[in-house]
């Protein structure tokens, strides 16, 4: 009986921690996807613009690329922290 109670308490204690990590992974993954989509949109927009607007749009795409890379790295790190 005590063993079952101990296992139940352990599961209830670790469950919120796992859910927090899963939530972080999902949230950061979604941010990375959104930034990547904005980057691609800016690349297409820059291809159809004339200078100097194209340079500004390419710079925005580079910023989106960096943000997407950062969010993907955070999501990957959060996924590693999820208890198995």
Asked whether 43 and 61 are in contact (CB, 8 A), the reply is: yes
Environment class of residue 67 by beta-carbon count within 10 Å: exposed (0-12), middle (13-18) or buried (19+)? middle
In the chain, domain spans: 2-80
Q: Could you say which DSSP state residue 15 is in?
A: H
What is the tens place of the pLDDT at every residue in 22-77? 677 888 888 888 888 989 888 888 888 888 888 888 999 999 999 999 988 888 88
Does residue 8 carry a pLDDT above 70?
Answer: no
For the chain, the maximum distance between any two Cα atoms, rounded to a whole number of angstroms, is: 75
Residue 66: the pLDDT is 92
52 — phi, psi (to 5°)? -85, -5
Question: Does 41 or 8 have the greater pLDDT score?
Answer: 41
Rounded to a whole number of angstroms, the distance between the first and last alpha carbons of the chain is: 25
């Amino acid at each position: 009986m005590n063993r079952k109670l101990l296992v139940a308490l352990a599961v209830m204690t670790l469950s919120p921690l796992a859910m927090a990590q899963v939530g972080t992974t999902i949230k950061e993954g979604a941010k990375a996807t959104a930034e990547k989509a904005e980057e691609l949109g800016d690349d297409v927009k820059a291809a159809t613009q004339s200078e100097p607007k194209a340079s500004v749009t390419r710079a925005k795409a580079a910023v989106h690329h960096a943000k997407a890379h950062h969010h993907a790295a955070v999501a990957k790190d959060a996924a590693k922290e999820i208890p198995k």
